[in-house]
Amino acid sequence: MKIFDQLESNVRSYCRLFPTVFKKAQGAFLEDQEGIKYIDFLSGVGTLNYGHNNPQLKQRLFDYLESDGIVHGLDLATVAKQEFLEAFEGIILKPRQLNYKVQFPGPTGTNAVEAALKLTRNITGRETVIAFSNGYHGVTLGSLATTANISQREAAGIATAGVTFIPYDGYLGSGIETTEYLEKVVSDPGSGVAVPAAVIVETIQGAGGVNVASFEWLRSLEKICRKYQIILIVDDIQVGCGRTGSFFSFEEIGISPDIVTISKSLSGFGLPFSLVLIKPELDQWKPGKHSGTFRGPNLAFVTAKAALEIYWQDDSLSASVKQKGKIMRLRLEQIAQNYWDSGFSVRGRGMIQGLDCKDGNLANRVIGTAFANGLIMETAGAQGQVIRCLPPLTISEEVLEQGLNLLENSVKQVMQEKASKKLVD
Ligand code: PLP
């Protein structure tokens, strides 16, 4: 690890959790330079929904490179972009009766969030947006302002402005409907909260601790947005692209976001690619008003189109996500039951499932033990108290079970160590 310690900035983080040098990856497996294999329940935090080095996507990429297809294209019209747009319209938007314009904002998720926020402020002339407790939307200044975690916001070094935080669903306990509070403050000129340009929400908060908003809560959020002419942004960057079973996480809920941000698994191959989907009447950008060098990720267009054609022309992937999601849920619930006296619980939808250990220190030890046992996972939540499982959607049931066994054994090991007071808490 010498060169990394010597040369790479202190800011690096994941490599501290998984201290080895990775060399290869295929499907649900990562392999380090010593030849040790790990099952991947992290999947680039939901970026590798179709697995590492998916062979079909890789072949399309080879063919495209072989043909000297455009690699960098600013926002020029290219054949790769044209074919991606046609596939996105034909396979995703039309069958769902969704009518969105597509903006290419720059390669990463936070680029999409920045563009979405900027657009809503431009349209409405209002300055503030509403975001939620435990929300995560990226770390560039505009997105960071909507990210709840205070220590992350402090890293900006200046006050992050223009955002009012409201409790997310369940934040104040199961009996308290936080959208009622939202409606009260936006409707009352004496509340101190201005009517915002937009509300930005995750249907399931990934980084915030796998907090699942109920369908009713999201529907009532949409109603409030309509009533007060507030633009509704759904940030589907982590739980879109099939993670919950449908392509967009909001499909089953029956809400119709005005703007959707999507990224992570969009390219299908781990290549940086993000989109802002905008209802046509809100596409009020003037040409060039939002720009950037890397807004034409042509290699990502090629693999994204291939992923749509291979996985989204029928509902077999959706069905298998629902099936494997149930397996994950059942196994995690069994683990939680074994430790009910420690207050363990399970949350999630589809193939994002979290085991809440109520204790960040403990969850962190489980992650470390799991890594030593050959499983890669991450924690989530303000205290890092939730073990978040994000296996590739294409993982076989057999490997999924192997990973869940490793998780179960790792929890057992840590709890036994804790019980025998080997751990200094
Ligand atoms: N929004 C959500 C919901 C995310 O989960 C993330 C990243 O984890 C982002 C935005 C930011 O994406 P990126 O890290 O690609 O900038």
Query: What is the chain's alpha carbon radius of gyration, rounded to the nearest angstrom?
Result: 21
CA–CA distance, 303 with 288 (Å, rounded to integer) = 27
| Pair 230, 196: CB distance under 8 Å | yes
Can you say whether residue 270 is alpha, beta or left, with left for phi > 0 and alpha for psi between -120 and 50 degrees?
A: left
Query: Measured from the CA of 239, which atom of ligand 1 is nearest?
Result: 3
CA–CA distance, 231 with 156 (Å, rounded to integer) = 26
206 lines ligand 1 (CB under 6 A): yes
Provide the CB-side half-sphere exposure for 278 (13 A, CA): 22
- Quickly state the pLDDT bin for 424 (edges 50, 70, 90): low
Counting ligand 1 atoms within 8 A of each CB, the residue from 114, 204, 237 with the most, and so the one to mutate, is 237
Which 8-state DSSP code applies to residue 27? B
Torsion on CA atoms 12, 13, 17, 19, rounded to nearest 10: -10
So what's the pLDDT on residue 222?
98
237 lines ligand 1 (CB under 6 A): yes
How does 184-199 read in b/e, with b if 16+ C-beta sit within 10 Å?
ebbeeeeeebeebbbb
**Of 229, 38, 44, nearest to 126 (Cα)?**
229
Give the pLDDT confidence of 51-103 residue by residue, as tens digits.
999 999 999 999 999 999 999 999 999 999 999 999 999 999 999 999 999 99
Counting every residue, how long is the chain?
425
All structural domains of the chain, each given as residue ranges with its CATH number in brackets, are: 2-53+316-424 (3.90.1150.10), 57-311 (3.40.640.10)
357 lines ligand 1 (CB under 6 A): no
| Pair 103, 258: CB distance under 8 Å | no
Counting ligand 1 atoms within 8 A of each CB, the residue from 43, 47, 108, 110 with the most, and so the one to mutate, is 110
So what's the pLDDT on residue 119?
98
CA–CA distance, 163 with 117 (Å, rounded to integer) = 11
Structure tokens that stand for 182 in this block = 């939202």
What is the chain's mean pLDDT, rounded?
97
Ligand 1 atom 10: residue of nearest CA: 137
- Quickly state the pLDDT bin for 1 (edges 50, 70, 90): confident
138 lines ligand 1 (CB under 6 A): yes
C-alpha 307: how far from chain center: 18
Residue 423 has pLDDT above 60, yes or no: no
So what's the pLDDT on residue 422?
58
Residue 104 has pLDDT above 70, yes or no: yes
Query: Measured from the CA of 138, which atom of ligand 1 is nearest?
Result: 11
So what's the pLDDT on residue 181?
97
136 lines ligand 1 (CB under 6 A): yes
263 lines ligand 1 (CB under 6 A): yes
Which 8-state DSSP code applies to residue 254? T
Query: Measured from the CA of 207, which atom of ligand 1 is nearest?
Result: 5
Query: Measured from the CA of 110, which atom of ligand 1 is nearest?
Result: 16
The phi, psi pair for 25, rounded to 5°, reads -155, 145
Query: Measured from the CA of 264, which atom of ligand 1 is nearest?
Result: 15
pTM: predicted TM-score of the whole model, two decimal places: 0.97
| Pair 278, 232: CB distance under 8 Å | no
Residue 161 has pLDDT above 60, yes or no: yes
Residue 421 has pLDDT above 80, yes or no: no
CA–CA distance, 120 with 141 (Å, rounded to integer) = 16
Residue 412 has pLDDT above 90, yes or no: yes
So what's the pLDDT on residue 175?
87
45 lines ligand 1 (CB under 6 A): yes
Query: Measured from the CA of 113, which atom of ligand 1 is nearest?
Result: 10
Higher pLDDT, 374 or 175: 374
| Pair 404, 67: CB distance under 8 Å | no
Stretch (H or E) spanning 217: helix 215-227
Structure tokens that stand for 273 in this block = 């690619």
Counting ligand 1 atoms within 8 A of each CB, the residue from 263, 267, 275 with the most, and so the one to mutate, is 263
Residue 352 has pLDDT above 90, yes or no: yes
